[in-house]
């Protein structure tokens, strides 16, 4: 059922609480069946945006369309969405089946049909046989699954989830992440998922909107955000990154020649950047994209010489801190211990060489 029209279209939406601007002119589109995450630090406006999608909060400027229809003036219960809140608001005095079937009560379904739907949901969230159990006799993870089932039984086109796994411990959280992804794929419902946990967003999402201070900084796939962050803020927010200050010497369509302070001239891919000759920039490289050699590498691969200051052994991998003359910060390097030649722990100062693959150096749009 291919549908090219976005299920959600947020058009220049802003939100003010009195004089305070919580959301600043956000535009984004979410596709049918997408697992879309809003990722950002506390207070950046994730819940506010989600509540505007749900109709629980008015939009100050702009327009939200869901399934092609403008939502201004449409109350929450008339929107084809359902929301799962961070504090799972299930009713402790009702049993599990009545909690899940709560939203169906107004629909005047025959009792048998209702029970069938509840059983279907119980098995979907892997709680078969729990229908009679009182909700306050459940673990946190089980309650969370009840909250999900209660939202899903209404068959919303869009499910809005506000940090639904925030209250769970790490192990349960990882298990529930897999379940969420499975449920979303089984049902084909669009998920808009709020989290401040970057690893969670990377694991689960088709696409992620990175938010900061009421603004969307970049909307991209997990690998797009990781491999091609648009600016320094995103690059440092997602994963670990080395930054080197640089100046653009010349710019062609897909490439640029940059002079990295202290390192010299390097040609890099500049696709998707707005850099031009003379700009100050910042060149970033992930710790795992650098390779350490204990002898000068053969051939003409780009590389630099440095001093290995410290190695931290982490089992599967090791972290190295390497000082390169001319750079004000040592480079952080991560290497897989299956291939590493310098994996042993130690603090001995020894000369090493660093190389990187084509495309590993990322020029950022801001310095």
- Taking Cα atoms as reference points, which of 257, 281, 276 lies closest to residue 365? 281
Q: Which of 37, 47, 99, 177 binds ligand ATP (CB under 6 A)?
A: 47
CB neighbours of residue 167 within 10 Å: 15
State the binding partner of 339 from ligand ATP, Mg ion, none, CB within 5 to 8 A by kind.
Answer: none
C-alpha–C-alpha distance, residues 153 and 231, integer Å: 41
Q: Which of 5, 16, 17, 169 binds ligand ATP (CB under 6 A)?
A: 17
Helix H or strand E encompassing 144:
helix 140-152
Cβ atoms 45, 200 nearer than 8 A: no
Q: Which is nearer to Mg ion, 56 or 310 (CB)?
A: 56
Q: Which of 32, 46, 145, 289 binds ligand ATP (CB under 6 A)?
A: 46
Q: Residues for the chain: how many in total?
A: 367
C-alpha–C-alpha distance, residues 64 and 81, integer Å: 13
C-alpha–C-alpha distance, residues 320 and 240, integer Å: 13
Q: Which is nearer to ligand ATP, 53 or 331 (CB)?
A: 53
Contact positions with ligand ATP (CB under 6 A) in 187-206: 196
C-alpha–C-alpha distance, residues 34 and 185, integer Å: 9
Q: Which of 47, 205, 218, 335 binds Mg ion (CB under 5 A)?
A: 47
Interaction of residue 60 with ligand ATP, rule CB under 6 A = no
Question: Least separation, in Å, of the C-beta of 192 and ligand ATP?
Answer: 13
Q: Which of 7, 32, 37, 45 binds ligand ATP (CB under 6 A)?
A: 45
Using DSSP bridges, classify how beta strands 255-260 and 264-269 pair: parallel, antiparallel or unpaired: antiparallel
State the binding partner of 17 from ligand ATP, Mg ion, none, CB within 5 to 8 A by kind.
Answer: ligand ATP
State the binding partner of 45 from Mg ion, ligand ATP, none, CB within 5 to 8 A by kind.
Answer: ligand ATP
Cβ atoms 100, 122 nearer than 8 A: yes
Q: Which is nearer to ligand ATP, 26 or 275 (CB)?
A: 26
User: Using CB under 6 A as the criterion, which residues of the chain lie in contact with ligand ATP when the complex forms?
Assistant: 17, 20, 22, 40, 42-48, 196
């Amino acid at each position: 059922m291919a549908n090219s029209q976005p299920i959600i279209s947020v058009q220049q939406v802003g939100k003010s609480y009195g004089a305070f601007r919580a959301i600043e002119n956000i535009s984004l589109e979410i596709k049918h069946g997408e697992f879309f995450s809003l990722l950002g630090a506390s207070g950046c406006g994730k819940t506010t945006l989600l509540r505007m999608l749900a109709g629980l909060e008015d939009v100050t400027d702009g327009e939200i369309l869901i399934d092609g229809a403008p939502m201004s003036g449409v109350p929450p219960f008339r929107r084809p969405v359902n929301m799962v809140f961070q504090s799972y608001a299930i009713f402790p005095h009702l049993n599990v089946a009545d909690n899940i079937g709560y939203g169906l009560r107004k629909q005047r379904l025959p009792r048998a049909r209702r029970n069938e739907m509840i059983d279907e949901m119980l098995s979907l969230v892997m709680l078969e046989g729990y229908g009679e159990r009182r909700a306050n006799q459940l673990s946190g993870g089980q309650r969370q699954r009840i909250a999900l089932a209660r939202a899903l039984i209404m068959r919303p086109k869009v499910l809005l989830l506000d940090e639904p796994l925030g209250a769970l411990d790490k192990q349960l959280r990882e298990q529930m992440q897999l379940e969420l992804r499975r449920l979303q794929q089984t049902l084909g419902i669009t998920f808009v998922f709020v989290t401040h946990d970057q690893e969670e967003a990377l694991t689960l999402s088709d696409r992620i909107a990175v938010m900061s201070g009421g603004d969307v900084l970049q909307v991209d796939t997990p690998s797009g955000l990781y491999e091609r962050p648009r600016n320094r803020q995103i690059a440092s927010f997602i994963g670990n990154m080395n930054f080197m200050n640089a100046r653009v010497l010349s710019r062609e369509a897909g490439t640029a020649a940059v002079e990295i302070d202290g390192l010299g001239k390097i040609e890099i891919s500049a696709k998707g950047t707005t850099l031009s000759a003379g700009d100050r920039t910042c060149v970033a490289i992930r710790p795992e994209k650098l390779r350490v050699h204990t002898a000068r590498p053969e051939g003409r691969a780009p590389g630099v010489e440095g001093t290995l200051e410290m190695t931290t052994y982490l089992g599967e991998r090791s972290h190295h801190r390497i000082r390169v003359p001319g750079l004000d910060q040592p480079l952080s390097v991560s290497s897989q211990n299956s291939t590493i030649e310098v994996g042993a722990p130690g603090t001995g100062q020894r000369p090493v060489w660093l190389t990187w693959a084509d495309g590993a150096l990322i020029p950022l749009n801001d310095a």
